[in-house]
Each structure stands twice: as structure tokens, then as C-alpha cells.
């Protein structure tokens, strides 16, 4: 009986370790110093930043998707706009593949959007689809009843993105 209990305990421990390892592979935490520093500097929830990075690049520092690059998938034009707003002395588009620069700029931009819209869903929608699209949707009664919130995000990709980032942020919050 003691041997059976010991074996059951070992099996349970290995099962938990296996699940934990798989979970950590699916939801990695990387660049913790940069995320924690720039999230704190911008008054952001670090788990939200991890959620954005997971959704945007899956923590691949030099990820490219169309015209966006880096961990937080910033376009060259948006990068130039952010650099101007941040009053950076030097900015080159290739800097966007540098993890620290990308996280610093991405956190600044995310905070800007949160301040501008005052709403997480709108900020995330703008991060994904652009402020121009979100502003147009807010003016359209098919998408917004009050001009302040969206009851319908017309881009399926953006609608799914908003939910995915919030889900990832919650998973990171619960897990870490």
C-alpha cells in the first residue's frame, strides 16, 4: 500500500510538472526587466503588456507581420510618431527589432491609447486597427450607440485581437 501511494505521488508530481512545462511553453514570460520597467513607467499593468506581446509576436523579438515589426509589432510610421511624441534623440526603423526599444515604445503607445480613449477595448482595437478606424467606428451608429464605446468592431481580426489580448493578460495574471 505504501509503495502504491508513493508511485501515485510520483506520477501526480510528474503530471503537474509536465502540465506546468507545457503551460510555460504556451505562455512564455520573457524580457521581464524591460516589461516591468516600461509598464511601471507608463502606469500599465505588466500582464496586459505580456498579453499584447503574446498576441502580437509570441515573444519573437524580430517578428515581422506585413509592415509591423518586433515584440509589440510597431509599424515604421507609428514608430516615427512615437519617437516624436517621446522626443527621442535618435530613432531608426531598425531599432524596432531591439527588444528594449520596442517594449519602451510599445508601452508608451499603449498608454497613449488608454489615455486617449479611456477604455481598454478601444485602446486595444486602436493598437490593432489604428486610431483612424476606431474613431470612424465611434462616429458610426452601426458600431457605436453613444460615440464613446463600440458595440460592434467590424474587423473580425480586431474583434478577436481585443478578446485574445484580454484573455492572455488574465492567463498571465493568474499564472504568474
Half-sphere exposure in the Cβ direction for 57 (13 Å, CA): 26
The secondary structure of residue 45, as a DSSP letter, is: -
* Interatomic CA distance for residues 139 and 149, integer angstroms: 10
Which member of 34, 56, 94, 174 is catalytic? 56
Half-sphere exposure in the Cβ direction for 119 (13 Å, CA): 13
* Interatomic CA distance for residues 29 and 173, integer angstroms: 11
Q: How far apart are the first and last CA of the chain?
A: 37
Does residue 34 have an active-site annotation? Answer: no
Q: Cite the active site residues.
A: 56
Amino acid at each position: 500500500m505504501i509503495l502504491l501511494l508513493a508511485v501515485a505521488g510520483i506520477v501526480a508530481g510528474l503530471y503537474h510538472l509536465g502540465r506546468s512545462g507545457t503551460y510555460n511553453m504556451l505562455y512564455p514570460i520573457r524580457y521581464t526587466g524591460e516589461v516591468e520597467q516600461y509598464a511601471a513607467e507608463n502606469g500599465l499593468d505588466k500582464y496586459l503588456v505580456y498579453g499584447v506581446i503574446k498576441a502580437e509576436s509570441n515573444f519573437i523579438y524580430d517578428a515581422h507581420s506585413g509592415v509591423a515589426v518586433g515584440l509589440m509589432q510597431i509599424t515604421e510610421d507609428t514608430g516615427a510618431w512615437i519617437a516624436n511624441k517621446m522626443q527621442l534623440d535618435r530613432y531608426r526603423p531598425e531599432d524596432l527589432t531591439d527588444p528594449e526599444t520596442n517594449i519602451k515604445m510599445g508601452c508608451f503607445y499603449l498608454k497613449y491609447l488608454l489615455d486617449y480613449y479611456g477604455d481598454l477595448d478601444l485602446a486595444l482595437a486602436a493598437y490593432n486597427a489604428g486610431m483612424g478606424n476606431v474613431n470612424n467606428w465611434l462616429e458610426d451608429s452601426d458600431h457605436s450607440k453613444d460615440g464613446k464605446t463600440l458595440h460592434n468592431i467590424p474587423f473580425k481580426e480586431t474583434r478577436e485581437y481585443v478578446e485574445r489580448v484580454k484573455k492572455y493578460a488574465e492567463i498571465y495574471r493568474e499564472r504568474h
